[in-house]
C-alpha cells in the first residue's frame, strides 16, 4: 500500500510550519535530509514543500542545496505587531540610554518561561554579551529576566522556581528560596541586577516598563529594559536613573 500513512492531525499547513520551525539560531542553513529529520517528516515530502516555499520566495536555496529563511519571510516577521510596535516606540529611548552609558542596551519581554530579546544596541566595551534580537535566555540569570519573572503571575513564578534551574555560570542563583527573596526585592526596589550570573565578566541592571492597565490606576509590566556593563561597582545610581527615565518615557508612549 503506497501513499498516505500520515499521522493524525497532519495537515499541509502544519507540515509547512514544522519545516519553518526546524530552523533555529544554530541552524540557519539546512539540507533536505536534516530538515526532514528535524521536522519529523519524510524526505520527499519535505523536498516538495521546500521547492514550493522557494518558488514563493519564503526560503532561499544556496548553490550547495542548503535552504535558509528568505527575505519575504523576514518582511512578514517584521509585521508582527506585538514585537515591533513596542520595539518601535522604545527605539529612541534605547538610543538615549546607549548615548548616556555606552553600554549594551536590551529590550526584552517574557515569552512563556523565557526572556525574549526584542532589540539590542551593542556597546563597544569588551563585555561578553550572548543575546541578540530574537534570542531567548533563562528568566533567572539575566537582569531583564529577573524583572520579568518578578512581575509575572505568581502561579507562573512559583512553577518556574519549582523547575530545575539552568546554571550558565557558577554565580547563577538557582536556590529557590534565595531567588524568591531576590524577586521580592526586585518588586520592592523597582530594579534587578546580576553579577556574572549569565556570563562571566558581565553585570547587568534592568527595570520594568509598565503600562497603565485598563481604566483603573493598576500598572501592568509589559517589558523590561536593561544594560550590560563590566562592573556595577561604580555609577550604579546614574545607570539606574538613565534606565528609569527611559522606561517611564516608553511606558507613557505606549498606546
Where does this chain bind DNA (CB under 7 A)? 1-6, 10-13, 15, 31-34, 41-45, 47-49, 51, 65-66
- Which H or E element spans position 251? helix 236-253
Q: Choose which of 40, 52, 158, 189 interacts with a copy of itself (CB under 8 A).
A: 52
In the bound complex, what is the minimum distance in angstroms from residue 66's beta carbon to DNA?
6
In the bound complex, what is the minimum distance in angstroms from residue 60's beta carbon to DNA?
13
Q: CA 163, CA 165: separation in Å to the nearest integer? A: 6
Roughly how many angstroms between the first and final C-alpha of the chain, as a whole number? 58
Instruction: Please give the full DSSP string across 65-95, using - where no structure is assigned.
Output: S-EEE-HHHHHHHTT-HHHHHHHHHHHHHHH
Q: CA 114, CA 29: separation in Å to the nearest integer? A: 25
In the bound complex, what is the minimum distance in angstroms from residue 53's beta carbon to DNA?
12
Among DNA, a copy of itself, none, the one that 33 touches (CB under a kind-dependent 5 to 8 A) is DNA
**25 versus 155: smaller Cβ distance to a copy of itself:** 25
Number of continuous H segments (helices) and E segments (strands) in the chain: 9, 8
Q: Which stretch binds a copy of itself (CB under 8 A): 11-19, 171-179, 180-188, 207-215?
A: 11-19
Q: Choose which of 35, 116, 224, 227 interacts with a copy of itself (CB under 8 A).
A: 116
Q: CA 14, CA 52: separation in Å to the nearest integer? A: 15
Instruction: Give me the phi and psi of 54, to 5 degrees please.
Output: -65, -40
Applying the rule CB under 8 A, the residues between 69 and 108 that interact with a copy of itself are 69-84, 88, 91-92, 95-96, 98-99, 102
The C-alpha cell that represents 180 in the structure block: 524568591
Q: Which residues of this protein are in contact with a copy of itself, per CB under 8 A?
A: 11-14, 16-17, 20-21, 23-25, 28-29, 49, 52-53, 55-56, 58, 60, 68-84, 88, 91-92, 95-96, 98-99, 102, 111, 116, 120-124, 132-134
Amino acid at each position: 500500500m503506497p501513499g498516505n500513512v500520515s499521522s493524525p492531525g497532519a495537515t499541509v499547513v502544519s507540515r509547512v510550519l514544522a519545516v519553518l520551525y526546524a530552523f533555529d539560531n544554530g541552524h540557519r542553513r539546512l539540507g533536505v535530509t536534516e530538515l526532514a529529520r528535524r521536522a519529523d517528516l519524510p524526505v520527499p515530502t519535505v523536498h516538495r514543500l521546500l521547492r514550493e516555499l522557494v518558488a514563493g520566495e519564503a526560503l532561499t536555496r544556496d548553490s550547495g542545496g542548503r535552504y535558509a529563511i528568505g527575505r519575504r519571510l523576514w518582511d512578514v516577521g517584521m509585521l508582527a505587531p506585538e514585537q515591533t510596535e513596542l520595539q518601535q516606540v522604545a527605539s529612541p529611548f534605547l538610543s538615549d540610554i546607549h548615548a548616556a552609558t555606552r553600554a549594551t542596551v536590551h529590550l526584552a519581554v517574557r515569552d512563556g518561561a523565557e526572556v525574549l530579546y526584542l532589540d539590542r544596541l551593542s556597546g563597544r566595551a569588551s563585555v561578553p554579551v550572548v543575546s541578540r534580537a530574537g534570542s531567548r535566555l533563562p528568566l533567572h540569570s539575566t537582569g531583564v529576566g529577573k524583572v520579568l519573572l518578578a512581575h509575572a503571575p505568581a502561579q507562573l513564578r512559583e512553577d518556574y522556581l519549582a523547575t530545575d534551574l539552568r546554571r550558565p555560570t557558577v554565580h547563577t542563583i538557582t536556590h529557590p528560596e534565595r531567588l524568591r527573596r531576590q524577586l521580592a526585592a526586585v518588586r520592592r526596589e523597582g530594579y534587578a541586577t546580576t553579577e556574572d550570573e549569565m556570563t562571566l565578566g558581565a553585570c547587568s541592571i534592568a527595570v520594568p516598563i509598565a503600562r497603565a492597565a485598563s481604566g483603573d490606576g493598576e500598572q501592568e509590566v509589559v517589558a523590561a529594559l536593561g544594560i550590560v556593563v563590566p562592573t556595577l561597582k561604580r555609577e550604579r545610581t546614574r545607570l539606574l536613573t538613565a534606565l528609569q527615565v527611559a522606561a517611564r518615557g516608553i511606558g507613557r508612549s505606549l498606546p
